Structure 1
């Protein structure tokens, strides 16, 4: 035991002195190991600091209150809830009766003698220096002790009067306002003075203003309602502080008593000390299914992180291993002296392994300390990026120790092969500097070939016979490891091309082949980085191609629409003028909507006196798969699979799936022939039908056999909803209009039909302005769009603008980032290999200079050495990276086909799945040509053309 300790102590001292002697090489290896450790340790501290404890979460949600009470909107019916209050159900069986709905009385749940603080939240458009900004209005007496912790004052003070507000710092930045400015809400004539700023610890990017209860939301809602505009939806909860502090807090028994009164509770005491599952009535319900979380990251994310850590260690070992090998060769005379003085192979291995231990330990300490310091220094930036404050700057020593040990293990793993190689050299070879000649191993390539075949078989089976992408990924990873094992043999195959190359590249290639122990790991590192990048890039490009093929335009390319839902059409004229003024409009088609109720009724308005309309589908045209049944059962269940498939192809069951975000509730609009021109509808029959007073219908089921369309005008929406829920006919006046059905294949762009203004007047339909469709002479640029958005904010509320730009891919930045990442890894790995080659082949370079080689040979040789490593790694990595992406896409195709067949069995007719496989040739071209060329030029530029001549060594 003592001899073992002393031998390792001596080995560590020798390794430490050797590392200090060759600082450049040592720093290179230390940096390679320390950088990942720095990143992982910084990530650990960041995640742990951002992960709030239960107490910290409660402080941000409850402040200093004992509980928060809210209305579950079940009409006061008793409820059963989870202990944390996140999920709840009404008590009772509602299978054969209407589900409870409506407001309840939360005040019934207030404990006797408790202090209650109202907390209301609504959304409205607030006036800024630029125009209007959608923001939250929170009415909360924030100076009350119960509210402590809900928000953090930053500047000024919190509001104390009815005409004062405070605003979040993000709102002030976005609005251009400041403390002391006046604030107004759209639709309200009153102004409020901003007396301070604050931030929400859990949402730093919130645009919110704080006012006293009743000071802003109520008058704003009344003003909007009076103007015929959509009001403010307000969500009110109540913070409760128990009398005398409540020694036990708001207990679980109190929660259940409050639930019986139809009130939901979020209790501090219950969340901190939850009851047993047997004491939770909600968990005992047979129809309730609990969903347990896999933790903050989830099993899949943990598997991905483990894979990333494993690949990072592989990369480090592949790049650091040659550095230790070169270090061992540079110190071979010293190792030979150890052997000459009685040291055996164990001591030689210990010295080289001690080098990995010393540098790994130094990297662990350096990376961990820098990770903690960097996280602390960047804490404000990290908090702003995440959008929330840290709970506390938390350092977990055991986790950081485990991360640090990872660096030590990586250093030892990287030194294992050089240690074994150095220990096999004879003392004579070490002292004389002879390397000896060893035949290339035939075992490793054979193993690599077997692993490649096995991995490819697993990936192929996963893509052809299963729908599990993890099997494809596992097989691809295994095959990639096999390619890494084959790298030395593949490097030898590349060397056979040297006979056709000029002097410098031929020397570089032969040097790389001769020193495969140095070249192969660097090529493998480049291969791994490029393969991962190419796999993700290929998958992203294929996914984008699929999205492009499946993209459904809402309008013809270049066509725009602007619709106003609020104010009964009062602001539509100003909106149309803004479009005409700010854009180079070629053709503009104005459209109106059918109005049921008062002139001030907005679109989809639920206020009293406002109704709606709908198209009545004739009974004969109703799809049997969707028709309502008296008992409420699924009508599709009475058909066989074959019958459902057949009905799915029936014209009655084919619906228009285009999203109707720009039109009325039924899809009917009032317009003229200009609308046909703007939408590119070239059917002559449609233009004639409008001129003849007919409705142009785009959906076949809505037209009756007598050639008419029935429109139901619903004045009492509540009665209509009740009748529909009971399976009865919806009450309302019905208007029948003659209709023209467009031929199959004519795109209606989400419209159910077009009614001419004259036809609407003749039929006695009241109308209100809705908006416009338009075309432009030239594409709308960013400045025009910004100017129009600003004008629309100043002229109307609820103006929806859309200009069809076609499919816009989001993966271009991803592909560019991956290309840059792979390029940096490739250049870095090739540069490391080149630096080691120069250190390892210094004698050869001096020999070239001695025999008269020009100085530029040194520079060009260095450049080609770097380029050769980069080129070999990129070629192999590109080939290895495309295959897993293809496998994953084939697996997705199988899943999509299975879902498609299942939909057909149920009677649905979705689009035929299209899962294309697209190779990103631009990315591959950049990697295959520009990256090796850039690596070669960079290495040539940083290499000195002249080297110092060495003196003769003493005999």
Structure 2
């Protein structure tokens, strides 16, 4: 008894034999389906292998310890923490109470009988072959069993003495040092010998050295600060081993003593949210992704997968159609011997099934092999070592089933078409009279109109990107459905073309079954590219308009805030030596306290200064209150909006932005005005007359002077700030000249000469210099300067104003190249199928005496025609989603701007600029270069001579 199983088994055998005979066509379709499967499977293997398990994360974080104890720096008060230990807050959070601070001592809460080691981390500027390198420094007994897994020794041995260190391979590469080299920190005479190299499995790019505990750093940086090796900021944690580990109850008990804990047992078995005290606080907000966000990600992923499958089906479908036509005699014999239409459909569908299964197997096997072979390169690329090579069979099986499904979908239409042919037409090779569907274009036009309306509604009425994207996708599918009819319209152009392009165009119109899918595939690729390119170009134009320059174009500046600016003269000379400098303006800053104090007043004996705003010039919304409340809350939104628009005390000037200038005050001469492009003769005369040049009107008092307060007692200042009182200090009055007109000052608010500063009792130290240049420095000049700065070892903040530099030019080029490759590939596939399908026509041309070059030019024009039609339709289709998204963004930004102004919170009063820019260069490359390139490539790879064959016997 014959069943459906026997029929399908026979159909699969026939399809497998037919695929083996037509190796070229089968390989082409297999590659189209297998390549996406290869990419997705390799990505799945890479992502899953790079996702560490809890045990692997704990091993890389705390080694073999049961827990890591940390001091959160909250003065030892009881704390609440998350189970992961990444968020720690005081258990008692009283409103308006100062935030607790101060060190705690984790060693006092480590249970008796435990074994522990310390892990101290900080940073230092270390000497290298090239100069100095900012490097992470760690103190850890890395060869202790507790620390097993934190580091991986690559060469040499772990430190055994206090003057030995090991270094990561990234540090050795960046520093130019090697095993056996010596290294030291700036201002720290003690050298260390590098005895080994290692890597951090979680951070392969980290530049770090590790020494024994107490050899380089000290807890809280006290000894290091005394030695002058490091800036404060090192921190210590304690890796603890304890019998039985630390449960969540143990962690909460330790939290009551002001210490946070990262426990292995808690990570492996986290408590319920109801058992976490921090989660019960009313002000706690969880930042985990919502189900809506997860749904959006899944929807986006499904859309990408669906479009990829559509693209493959559009390209592979014509190949199955041509295969069915090439096998029409075989299919006719099946019908002549009693086979039904279902048997013929099964044979053609089996072709898709066979190639789909083969593509799934090939893609999955290649993904496994390539991921294993490229594992070291992938680890270096993502910057961390994999955990176990994680193979998820169900996920790979699901990806493989996509290949099978794609093959079946691509073969559906050819199967139905082949089953509708009569036995006589199949045996004689006659195609009969074929007509295109009149319903499909109508449905496509309806989908286009509805999709455009939805996209327009989403961009003009609502602010939902999803609505715009959904409407644009529906409109694009409508254009795809209209493609056969649009191809027919293109055929009307053929009457004005020469012979070869006219034949190519008429062939494309006559064989819409293979032309329309290829054109639709090109359309989809080009539409996506044009949409992204248009949105990117428009966003880039907006960023260019919003760009705030740090300096005038071509100007250079540098600052050294620390160490009393001791390297400023040498750096300024180096800049002037390597760059084409027109004007140099050296500047200083006001320093309060002992020499070498930083401007922020850190350390003993160091203070701060501020340029005071007279009480009468303070904006009413910003006047401090005695109870610490927000002063703006006593005004209505209308009052706030009125003050921002009309009160000069509350208005923001365009002179802001640019570089950060400490306190807005610099000490220099008129050359700084020249570098900044401020042409004001009165300002230059005011500097010479001993006045401070002021660019901010609220700073100038009624008597025409400015006040500069020097605060030396920082503890008293902190106390006054906590009590919302003015900080105590000595105030110096300096006569001022106010520059009107709101010039662009690039962060500068006050400029005074050195003589004026001395007369006011202000001590100054060098801080940097400004330069105007003849031309922007090139790469070679920058490299020479960087090399000299490295030898100086100065902590320099160098700025070269190059103007707005777009980061999207390479991206747009990559998009254009991608669309070009897809277009040429789709057009090439259509051309190859056309040649296979129209071989009889080409032989007829040769038989009637057509020159040999006709074959080559016809092939080129066939490819170019498909590419040109797809590019034209895709360019038009791609503009709709881009314009819709930009209109939506404009509505959102304008609404936010109006809301900000209405509520009176300040900001720029100018409405946001949200342009729509068409990337004409990208469109020109797609419309001209891509079809021309596709045509030339097809013409070059096509043989100009073909054999003349006799007519087949029927």
TM-score range, shorter chain: over 0.9
How far the C-alpha of 1:704 sits from its partner, in A, is 1.1
1-side partners of 2:795 and 2:659: how far apart? 12
Q: Can you list the C-alpha shifts for 1:293-332, whole angstroms capped at 9, x where unaligned?
A: 3599954443332221111100100000000000000000
Alpha-carbon distance in 1 for matches of 2:659, 2:429: 82
Match of 2:472 in 1: 476
Distance of aligned partners of 1:382 and 1:656 in 2 relative to their CA distance in 1, 3 Å threshold: farther
Give the match for residue 39 of structure 2. Answer: 39
Correspondence 1:574 to 2:604: no
Alignment of 1:793-812 (within 5 A): 793-812=790-809
> What residue is the counterpart of 1:869 in the other structure?
866
1:411 aligns with 2:410: no
C-alpha distance in 2 between matches for 1:50 and 1:227 = 41
- Cα 1:159–1:60 change in 2 (3 A) is same
Match of 1:844 in 2: 841
Identify the range of structure 1 (29-38 vs 93-102) with the bigger mean alpha-carbon deviation. Answer: 93-102
**Does the aligned pair in 1 maintain the 2:217–2:224 contact within 8 Å?**
no
Query: How far does residue 672 in structure 1 lie from its aligned partner after superposition?
Result: 0.6
- Alpha-carbon distance change, 488 to 662 in structure 1, aligned in 2, over 3 angstroms: closer
Counterpart Cα distance in 1 of 2:658 and 2:212 = 36
Partner of 1:948: 947
Deviations 1:213-264 (A, max 9, x none): 121124996798569897242021111111xxx22x1111110111000011
Matched residue of 1:195: which SS?
Answer: strand
Matched, 1:548 2:544: yes
* Equivalent in the alignment of 2:717: 720
Note if 1:310 corresponds to 2:306. Answer: yes
Is the Cα–Cα contact under 8 Å of residues 154 and 199 in structure 2 kept in the other structure?
yes
Residue in structure 2 matching 1:755, options 749, 752, 767: 752
CA 1:657–1:154: 2 relative to 1, 3 Å:
farther
* 2:907 paired residue among 906, 909, 915: 909
The yes-or-no answer on 1:708 pairing with 2:695 is no
Distance 2:293 2:379 in 1: 19
Task: State the Cα deviation string for residues 490-539 of structure 1 (Å, max 9, x = none).
Answer: 10111100000000000000000000000000000000001111111111
Q: In the alignment, is the contact (CA less than 8 A) between 2:123 and 2:230 conserved in 1?
A: no
Question: For 1:51 and 1:326, how far apart are their aligned partners in 2?
Answer: 45
Shift, 1:401, TM fit: 0.6
- Correspondence 1:75-224 to 2 at 5 A: 75-218=75-218
Please, which moves more after superposition, 657-666 or 678-687?
Answer: 657-666
Residue of structure 2 aligned with 1:507, choices 503, 506, 522: 503
**564, 579, 584: which is aligned to 1:583?**
579
**84-93 vs 629-638, greater mean Cα deviation:** 629-638
Shift of 1:660: 7.0
Native 8 Å contact 1:318 1:521 kept in 2: yes
Shift of residue 936 of structure 1? 0.2
On the 8 A contact 1:662/1:800 being kept in 2, the answer is no
Q: 1:228 to 1:112 in 2, by over 3 A?
A: closer
Residue range with higher mean Cα deviation, 834-843 or 250-259: 250-259
Return structure 1 stretches of 4+ with deviation > 6 angstroms.
219-224, 226-230, 657-661
- Equivalent position of 2:394 in the other structure: 398
TM-score of the two chains, using structure 2 as the length reference: 0.98
Aligned equivalents of 1:488, 1:142: Cα separation in 2: 70
Deviations 1:856-878 (A, max 9, x none): 00000000000000000001111
CA drift at 1:657:
7.7
SS in 2 for 1:391: coil
After superposition, where does 1:713-792 map in structure 2 within 5 Å? Answer: 713-792=710-789
Q: Distance in 1 between matches of 2:180 and 2:851?
A: 75
Number of the residue aligned with 1:690: 687
Asked if the contact 2:70/2:106 (under 8 Å) is kept, the reply is yes
State the alpha-carbon separation in 2 of the partners of residues 230 and 730 from structure 1: 30
Say which SS state the counterpart of residue 385 (structure 2) adopts. coil
User: How many Å separate the matches in 2 of 1:230 and 1:52?
Assistant: 34
Rounded to whole Å, the distance in 2 between the matches of 1:589 and 1:795 is 21
Provide Cα deviations, 1:606-626, integer angstroms capped at 9, x if missing partner: 101011100111111111222
Task: Pick from 328, 334, 338 the counterpart of residue 342 of structure 1.
Answer: 338
The alignment of Structure 1 onto Structure 2 pairs a total of residues equal to 951
2:514 to 514, 518, 524: 518
* Conserved 8 A contact 2:654-2:744: no
Query: C-alpha displacement at 1:277, in angstroms?
Result: 2.0
Counterpart CA distance in 2 for 1:322 and 1:888 is 34
**633-642 vs 930-939, greater mean Cα deviation:** 633-642
In the other structure, the counterpart of 1:9 is 9
Q: Deviations over 1:33-72 (max 9, x none)?
A: 0110111111111111111111111111111001111111
**Separation in 1 of the partners of 2:793 and 2:55?**
45
Cα–Cα, structure 1 residues 137 and 916, in superposed 2: closer, same or farther, change >3 Å?
A: same
Matches within 5 A, 1:552-567: 552-567=548-563
- Could you say which residue in structure 2 is the equivalent of 1:62? 62
Alignment partner of 1:260 out of 240, 256, 269: 256
Partner residue of 1:598?
594
Partners of 1:764 and 1:903 in 2: how far apart?
43
Q: Counterpart of 1:634? A: 630
Distance verdict in 2 for CA 1:256–1:386, change over 3 Å: same
- Measured in 2, the distance between the counterparts of 1:718 and 1:392 equals 54
Q: Name which of 364, 369, 374 aligns with 1:373.
A: 369
What is aligned with 2:649?
652
**Whole-Å separation in 2 of the counterparts to 1:228 and 1:494:** 79
CA shift for structure 1 position 28? 0.5
Contact 2:127–2:133 under 8 Å retained in 1? yes
1:43–1:520: structure 2 CA closer, same or farther, 3 Å change rule? Answer: same
Aligned residue in 2 for 1:24: 24
Return the alpha-carbon distance in structure 2 between the equivalents of residues 59 and 226 of structure 1: 34
Structure 1 stretch displaced more, 628-637 or 402-411: 628-637
- The residue number in structure 1 matching 2:665 is 668
- State yes or no: 1:425 paired with 2:421: yes
How far apart are 1:778 and its partner, in Å? 2.4
Q: 2:315–2:829: 8 Å Cα contact kept in structure 1?
A: yes
Does the aligned pair in 2 maintain the 1:185–1:220 contact within 8 Å? no
What residue is the counterpart of 2:447 in the other structure?
451
Contact 2:658 2:746 in 1 (8 A): no
CA contact (8 A) 2:220 2:236 kept: no
| 295 and 398 in structure 1: CA distance in 2 versus 1, 3 angstrom threshold | farther
- Displacement after TM superposition at 1:209 (Å): 0.6
- Indicate the SS of the match to 1:625: helix
CA distance in 2, matches of 1:569, 1:409: 69
Contact 2:317–2:411 (CA<8 Å) still a contact in 1? yes
TM-fit CA distance, 1:752: 1.5
User: What is the alpha-carbon distance in structure 2 between the residues aligned to residue 718 and residue 540 of structure 1?
Assistant: 51
Map of 2:890 onto structure 1: 893
2: CA distance between counterparts of 1:547 and 1:696?
Answer: 32
Residues in 2 aligned to 1:505 and 1:241: alpha-carbon distance in whole angstroms: 81
Secondary structure of 2:482's counterpart equals helix
Q: 1:218, 1:429 → 2: CA distance?
A: 91
* Paired residues of 1:228 and 1:601 also in contact (CA < 8 A): no
Determine the C-alpha separation between the residues in 2 that align with 1:737 and 1:482: 73
Indicate yes or no: 2:606 matched with 1:610. yes
CA RMSD of aligned residues (A): 1.8
Give me the whole-angstrom Cα distance separating, in 2, the residues matched to 1:223 and 1:273. 40
Change (3 A) 1:643 1:90: same
- Deviation of 1:174 after TM superposition, in Å, equals 1.4
Deviation of the 1:2 alpha carbon: 4.6
- Show structure 1 runs of 5+ residues with no match: none
Q: Match of 1:931?
A: 930
